[in-house]
Chain A
């Protein structure tokens, strides 16, 4: 096993065992040896991908996912102040608008999504809880965002996401702005993604950047 694989394994173990400082130090040491970009792409991203799979298989608790998010957030905050990454942050890979739909106040998943998207190089506008359909689309238009991510935890709020779909379509932005949905209810009721007219959903917060990248590519075809 090479040094990198050993470090990946150790990082995974520290996150699973909730050893936040050890996890953060491991990434920072690797960044010092190589670069922040390498620490993200070679070390943190493969580990996050493994964690995402574990989460999908119900083998990762929310506490462990939260810890992974906190580690990612800490690293991002440190890296964003470095000379190496400040230029990248000025040129994000994409812009996204995120929020919980009207009457929904379950912010935990959304906040994790924001962390993982930022770490992946996205510029994210987080509108918070209880956001009206119109507000999502207004912000997306204003910031030239290609993806709107709407979160909801329960059926009766999730169903209001249809309003975002209608608002996008009404303004002739179908396809140009992709609608992504997430939250516990979408994992339980798989038809709901189609029911609300969404373009996609991710299994969990860690897997969101992968989905957003795909949706952004799709949106470019509507230029």
Chain B
């Protein structure tokens, strides 16, 4: 099956869908969190308490179906368990909420907000960690959690929460404060681990459950406040409910990147409402479970045909996990249909010409499979001689005239604008290497703090930079100059080399500036190169 898939990996395909860059085949995501338990014959009690069992199940999913998105455990009652609700492990199903920890509004004041990393949440975080270590940059890793709104039903039961929602505004506010804290901390822990986005099943934000008045007066504020404190992208999942009528409330909420749409609703209408956000859906889970592979294949084709020009679309089942009784052949039917439904694809020869400052990161990304084109490097020290850089770069571009060329450079030479205007050249976004690596917002923050940013390569070559190129023959002149412009050195630790503490100390002493270590990743660089690669393939 894997051979039939497009050249892009799952991570790259979902990134494309987020950016609206066309892909050879439609990205595929099925919620197969539970199904791994079936494939590995791991009873749910074991599967949903032992991270190794869960990850083994997801490995089986990847081996058999290779969906572009893989998920952390999708168990809504775990949100209640964190607060003290009782759950029950049941054969062939996800754990069920047996007894909510509280059932009445007057108990909310005594409800304690739990640590984000205890009990079942510790299990989920460990699953996320293991999935990240196996699949980061290969598959898009989605973490499931409930927002500060829907988790209330797992803490109080639907009846208790509904009663509080309708009749007890003060207690409701207190409840949301407690659930918000937990939601933010847990979600950010998932992002710290390295998941690519989180999905929040949001039935209580849908017209199936509440009215627009409740949304406007009660739900939007706490949800907005919580979402703006989340460190990454959020997908609003329909949670088995219809949500089209209320999508407009959520489109512009902070960090919301996309929506899962129910199979009963119209994706075209959803597209009109959400603009360029990601849309996932909208295969009926009952069809997958009950029908023959032929019917499943036809249903899949219908959805693909309707969305064939939608570059922000990901094929997905609406609602909860694909059920235990779903035949394996039906899932295969979906995968084959999606993978064989090809769009126009033109192959080009490509090459990346990069500043050597990125060498470690780009080679690491190449090794991980995140970049699959040849890369040639020009010495980063050319940064000090813009004219020479310009001449060398122009020569290289001439040499690869019949290639499509990705430039991994900042605005390092005056001729960069002319170079990148050539029809076969595209350049990474960013003023300089730091900007390209960190993204604009983090870069601006550091600049505002007066930071002089150092990469591993430059630290090792600091004498070349500061003494030979800048011309600071003595520490005094370097100190005077650097303190005039900067407040500190910030060394970017991208995790690909040992931190050169001794050399940093030497440089710091020479320039009279303190230094800090900042951990970062090469994610922005990877995304940037990847997007340019796809722009060549499919146009803007």
Please name all residues of chain B whose beta carbon is closer than 8 Å to the beta carbon of A104 when the two chains form the complex. Answer: 96
Which residue of A67, A107, A154, A188 is within 8 Å of B159 (Cβ)?
A107
A188–B98 CB distance below 8 A: no
Which candidate, A55-63, A117-125, A142-150, A211-219, is the interface stretch facing chain B?
A55-63
Alpha-carbon gap, A80 to B376, bound state (A): 86
Contact of A191 with B by CB under 8 A:
yes
Q: Nearest chain-B residue to A17 (Cβ)? A: B213
Q: In the complex, what distance in Å separates the CA atom of A191 from the CA atom of B291? A: 12
In this assembly, does B209 line the interface, its C-beta being within 8 Å of a C-beta of chain A?
A: yes
Q: Which residues of B contact A105 (CB under 8 A)?
A: 88, 96-99
The SS class assigned to the B binding surface is mixed
- B303 close to chain A: CB less than 8 A: no
User: In this assembly, does A38 line the interface, its C-beta being within 8 Å of a C-beta of chain B?
Assistant: no
**Measured between alpha carbons, how far is A154 from B96 in the docked complex, in Å?**
10
Contact (Cβ within 8 A) A103 B209:
no
Contact call A111/B96, Cβ cutoff below 8 A: no
Contact call B159/A66, Cβ cutoff below 8 A: yes
- B90 interface contact, C-beta 8 A: yes
A103 engages B159 (CB within 8 Å): no
Indicate if B323 sits at the interface (CB-CB under 8 A).
yes
Asked if A22 is an interface residue, CB under 8 A from chain B, the answer is no
Is A189 at the interface (CB under 8 A from chain B)?
yes
Contact status A156-B323, CB under 8 Å: yes
The interface bits of chain A over 197-215 (1 if a CB of B lies within 8 angstroms of the residue's CB, else 0) are 0000000000000000000
Per the bound structure, the CA–CA distance linking A156 and B97 in Å amounts to: 15
Q: Is A196 an interface residue (CB 8 A)?
A: no
**How many whole Å from A15's CB to the nearest CB in chain B?**
11
Tell me, in angstroms, the Cα distance from A191 to B290 when the chains sit together. 10
Given known pairs A63-B165, A63-B211, A156-B323, the reply for A184 and B240 (CB within 8 Å) is yes
Interface assignment of B324: CB less than 8 Å from any CB of chain A = yes
Chain B residues with CB under 8 A of A66: 159, 162-163, 166
Which residues of chain A come closer than 8 Å to B39, judged between CB atoms?
Answer: none
Judging by beta carbons under 8 Å apart, are A108 and B159 in contact?
A: yes
Query: 20 pairs across A/B with beta carbons < 8 Å?
Result: A58-B207, A61-B207, A61-B209, A61-B210, A63-B166, A63-B210, A66-B159, A66-B162, A66-B163, A70-B163, A103-B96, A105-B88, A105-B97, A107-B159, A108-B158, A108-B162, A130-B88, A154-B320, A156-B323, A157-B93
Q: Produce 1/0 per residue, B197-211, CB < 8 A to A.
A: 000000000011111
Which residues of A93-150 are within 8 A (CB) of B?
103-108, 111, 129-130
Q: A62-B208, A105-B99 are in contact. List 7 more A-B contacts (CB 8 A).
A: A58-B208, A61-B214, A62-B162, A62-B210, A63-B214, A107-B159, A157-B93
Q: Which residue on B lies nearest to A104, using beta carbons?
A: B96
**A155 within 8 Å of B (CB atoms):** yes
Chain A residues within 8 Å of B158, by CB = 62, 106-108
Q: CB < 8 Å: which of B90, B92, B165, B166 contacts A20? A: B166
Q: In the complex the two chains form, is B90's CB within 8 Å of A156's CB?
A: yes
Interface residues of A (CB under 8 A from B): 16-18, 20, 58, 61-64, 66-67, 70, 103-108, 111, 129-130, 154-157, 184, 188-189, 191
Quick one: CB contact mask for B147-181 with A, threshold 8 Å, 1 for yes?
00000000001110011011100000000000000
Residue in B208, B210, B325 whose beta carbon sits within 8 Å of that of A155 in the complex:
B325
- B353 an interface residue at 8 Å Cβ cutoff? no
Please give me the residue from chain A that is nearest to B94 by CB atom: A154
Residue of A nearest to B241 (CB): A62
Contact A58 B242 (CB under 8 A): yes
Given A61-B209, A61-B210, A63-B165, is A156 in contact with B324 using a C-beta cutoff of 8 Å?
yes
Q: A105-B97, A184-B240 are in contact. Are A18 and B211 (CB under 8 A)?
A: yes
In the bound assembly, the distance between CA atoms of A48 and B209 in angstroms comes to 18
Chain B residues with CB below 8 A from A129, complex form: 98
A20-B167, A58-B242, A63-B211 as given contacts; A155 in contact with B98, CB under 8 Å: no
Flag whether B289 is at the interface (Cβ < 8 A). yes
**Could you mark each residue 97-124 of chain B with 1 if its beta carbon is under 8 Å from any beta carbon of chain A, else 0?**
1110000000000000000000000000
B325: A residues at CB distance < 8 A: 155-156
- A63-B162, A105-B97 given; A189·B290 CB < 8 A: yes
Nearest-CB distance from A198 to chain B (Å)?
Answer: 17
A156 and B92 form a contact (CB under 8 A)? yes
The 8 A CB mask of B240-270 against A (1 = contact, 0 = none) is: 1010000000000000000000000000000
Question: Are A63 and B209 neighbours in the complex by a CB distance under 8 Å?
Answer: yes
Verify B286–A61 contact, CB threshold 8 A. Answer: no
Most chain B CB inside 10 Å of its own CB: which residue of A20, A62, A184: A62
Bound-complex Cα distance A189 to B437 (A)? 50
A108–B286 CA distance with the chains assembled, in angstroms: 23
Chain A residues contacting B162 (CB-CB under 8 Å) are 62-63, 66, 108
Given contacts A63-B165, A111-B159, A156-B323, contact A188 B286 (CB under 8 A): yes
CA distance A142 to B242 in the complex (A): 42
Closest to B210 in A: A63
Residue on B nearest A108 in the bound complex, by CB:
B158
A106 to B99: give the CA distance in the assembly, Å: 10
